[in-house]
Amino acid sequence: MDRIRIVGGRPLSGRIPISGAKNATLPLMIASLLTNETLILDNVPRLADVALLQRILGNHGVDVMIGGKRPGDGAYQGQTLHISAADIVDTTAPYELVSRMRASFWVIAPLLARMGEARVSMPGGCAIGTRPVDLLIMALERLGASIEIDGGYVLARAPNGLRGGEIVFPKVTVGGTHTALMAASLARGMTVIENAAREPEVGDVADCLNKMGARIEGAGSSRIVVEGVARLGGARHTVLPDRIETGTYAMAAAMASGDVLLENTRPELLQSALDVLTQAGARISATNEGIRVQRDGAALRPVEVTTAPFPGFPTDLQAQLMSLMTRAQGTSRITETIFENRFMHVQELARLGARIHLDGETATIEGVERLKGAPVMATDLRASVSLVIAALAAEGETIVNRVYHLDRGFERLEQKLAGCGAEIERLTG
């Protein structure tokens, strides 16, 4: 199993190209099931999750062709996927596949909307919490689906097609909103989604669906209106920049100090996180090439942050911020409100010398003078990368184990950081 070796203490300076967003790519690939024509996606990141979803879609009969490199393409150019769901051969998504990637549960919406039925395994819990799918099921029921749960599978049926309805989410859910949008696009009549997720990835998926012929208004706000259409067609769409990757490298630059330009990304995708970094003492500026993050040697200031749905501070940057705050001068407090168990990084950060006290959903982080390298491992993607950030500021060598978590969501992580002067390498085998 691969590991990553980091020797801390080097400032970061240079440019980091930001990839297309994982969490937009996955629902966009799933949206291909809505049409028998080809969906072309540009700026797709090279990630294990994308490859896995390709296999999962393959199981339904979807053909994915990866475009070759064009002259002038750099090493970091995103891929182009040509996705064709001309013939859906199977409407079942089995446990073996859904349990490996939760987002694959979302295939339930396009399969049901296009084929009139879907049988999809319940995903089960995961390292960051129980993560139920009750609200996704509620949304489909509101559109006229009949739902049965049998043997760990959700069986959704709408033999005469879905019909528009009112969906009021009692809690903001990204997956629930994606599911509702996909299903409502092919339902008869109008759907209103209240308390919709406002995450930029929802807006990106809605843009793509509109290019495919859907009639969606209000994506990006908490009230979305969808006028169903009889069929959707092919389209070409460029995946938006990954705001979590952007925020992660911004935190890395703040941690290591230095001067880094995050290319091909936009501040409005993560303003709340950039504001927190400014409070902590980083200098953030928007340029026409991307976002510049600078920090001189001055001490980091502590912050108080509570995670929240967009435009609040993202849960997917909580672990990274916690790493940064381990080196602040003073006591920080971070409250996690989205997932109940997303503190698996705390014990590992402690191995590097961090002082963190957990009380329910709040972590109190007492900044320390120094971190010291150690072997660590983590159980999810964002927790793993938080250990990389801590390692950049730790004295001596840190070995991050279970790198496959990182490969799920960060493309060429070690190259991107090494390109800015970090001492980081992958140890294979």
Residues that bind ligand EPU (CB under 6 A): 23, 26, 102-103, 129, 131-136, 171, 173-176, 197, 315-316, 338-339, 381-382, 409
In the chain, how long is the greatest CA-to-CA distance? 65
Compare residues 52 and 225 and give the one whose CB is closer to ligand EPU: 52
Compute the distance between CA of residue 412 and CA of residue 420 in angstroms, rounded to an integer.
Answer: 13
Considering the complex, state which of residue 204 and residue 414 has its C-beta at the smaller distance from ligand EPU: 204
CA atoms of 426 and 243, how far apart (whole Å): 24
| Cβ nearer to ligand EPU, comparing 176 with 267 | 176
Measured from the CB of residue 172, what is the shortest distance to ligand EPU in angstroms?
6
317: Cβ–Cβ under 8 A, 6 or more apart, which residues?
244, 247, 248, 251, 270, 273, 382
**Residue among 250, 282, 254 nearest 267 (CA):** 250
Between 135 and 354, name the residue whose CB sits nearer to ligand EPU. Answer: 135
CA 197/CA 259 separation, integer angstroms = 34
Tell the smallest beta-carbon distance from residue 372 to ligand EPU (Å): 28
**Cβ 381 to ligand EPU shortest distance, Å:** 5
| Candidates 122, 126, 399, 418; catalytic one | 126
Rounded distance between C-alpha atoms, residue 225 and residue 295, angstroms: 43
Gap between the Cα atoms of 379 and 345, Å rounded: 8
Nearer to ligand EPU, 35 or 248 (CB): 248
Sign for the pseudo-dihedral over CA of 202, 207, 213, 218:
positive
Residue nearest to ligand EPU (CB): 175
Written as six digits, the tokens of 270 are 């993560």
Give yes or no for a contact between 207 and 185, defined as CB atoms under 8 angstroms apart.
Answer: no
For ligand EPU, the closer of residues 79 and 315 by Cβ is 315
Catalytic residue status for 420? no
CA distance 268 to 199: 11
Q: Please identify which residue in the block is written with the tokens 């750099």.
A: 74
- What Rg, from alpha-carbon coordinates, does the chain have? 22
Rounded CA-CA distance 205/240 in Å is 10
Q: Which is nearer to ligand EPU, 315 or 386 (CB)?
A: 315
- Compute the least distance from the CB of residue 142 to ligand EPU, in Å: 13
Least distance in Å: CB of 341 to ligand EPU?
Answer: 10
Q: How far is CA 429 from its chain centroid?
A: 27
- Residue 278 in contact with residue 271, Cβ under 8 Å? no
Start-to-end Cα distance in the chain: 5
Amino acid at 367: G
Measured from the CB of residue 133, what is the shortest distance to ligand EPU in angstroms? Answer: 5
Closest distance to ligand EPU from the beta carbon of 395 (Å):
29
Tell me which residues are annotated as active site. 126
